[in-house]
Amino acid sequence: MAALRAQGALRLGGSLGLSVAGAESNVAIGLARLGHRVRWAGRVGADELGALVLRTLRAENIDTDHAVTDDTGRPTGLLLTEPRLGTLTRVSYYRTGSAGSAVSPADVLPSLAPGTRILHLTGITPALGPSAAEAVLAAATAAREAGITVCLDVNYRSRLWTSDQARTTLRPLLAHTTLLIASEDELPLVVDEPGAGESEATRSVLAAGVDEVVIKRGGRGATTFTAEGTTDRAARQVDAVDLVGAGDAFVAGYLSGLLDGADIPARLHRGVTTAAFAVATRGDWEGLPTRHELGLFDQPDGTTIR
């Protein structure tokens, strides 16, 4: 979707910056910058904002051959962001009746071409409408049957649906999910007992057939749970500028490590590193690093690269 970013409170007017947004797009850009081949499947409107989305993805070396331009008059989705208190940002969504809400299995299944290693999905897409939810389930089912790793980032958005609606839709996806990613407050949305503690909830998810559960803890880092054990990683310490997109940046780094065959500690390390780049710069994806920039955090403060 497109994104309009305000410099202050929207009700006071002022200038807006135009860019693109979307959790899946953020992860796609993050992976492409880290040198991986990435394909984006979805639906945009036959409008200038849709053209902006596709142009931006192509400029980031992302394959958009399976992107569909909706010719029925549905517009490209839009969000508005406004800074309120420090790094606290308020987001308003305009996605009802959007092209993305009408994405269908026929739009996304052809993208699962031979050689695909990971299918990345989020809980945002099924919140957009019945067709989008059907597309997510169909893609996850087909990918798992084809031996493709299915990554599901819960990414709960309370302005799109209720927690009960999310649980009803997301819980069945676990049967087709290889890697589940969630924040601490999102984990209860994929278990039968919402009041279960983290340890009990992760055991329930692993018992449902998921191989790996990753819990994002914001400024406290992240934890990976598997049947073999638990691995923690602290966050990188940076001066936070903009927290929006940090979770997507972490996912991009973690999946990059997985694609490179790295072990879990190395995946977590790359995840918290890419997340640190995101929070230290403005924008959802603009500050994401290239592969050769990953080592910049290991340079002393005040270093100038010449």
Tens-digit pLDDT string for the chain (306 aa)? 999 999 888 899 888 999 999 999 999 999 999 999 999 999 999 999 999 999 999 999 999 999 999 999 999 999 998 988 777 888 889 999 999 999 999 999 999 999 999 999 999 999 999 999 999 999 999 999 999 999 999 999 998 899 999 999 999 999 999 999 999 999 999 988 777 789 899 999 999 999 999 999 998 999 999 999 999 999 998 888 877 889 999 999 999 999 999 999 999 999 999 999 999 888 889 999 999 999 888 887 777 777
Give the pLDDT score at 118: 98
Strand arrangement, sheet containing 222-226:
118-122, 149-153, 179-183, 212-216, 222-226, 229-233
Q: What is the number of residues in the chain?
A: 306
Decide the pairing of beta strands 222-226 and 212-216.
antiparallel
Q: Where are the domains positioned within the chain?
A: 24-42+103-298
Query: What ranges in the chain are assigned the alpha helix state H?
Result: 23-33, 48-59, 105-108, 130-145, 163-170, 198-207, 246-259, 264-279
Decide the pairing of beta strands 2-6 and 78-85.
parallel
Structure tokens at 169: 């839709």
Structure tokens at 247: 């979770």
Other beta carbons within 10 Å of 84: 11
Alpha-carbon distance of 280 to 283, in angstroms, equals 10
Residues identified as active-site: 248
Does domain 24-42+103-298 fall under CATH 3.40.1190.20? My reply is yes
Strand arrangement, sheet containing 88-94:
16-20, 2-6, 78-85, 88-94
Give the pLDDT score at 119: 98
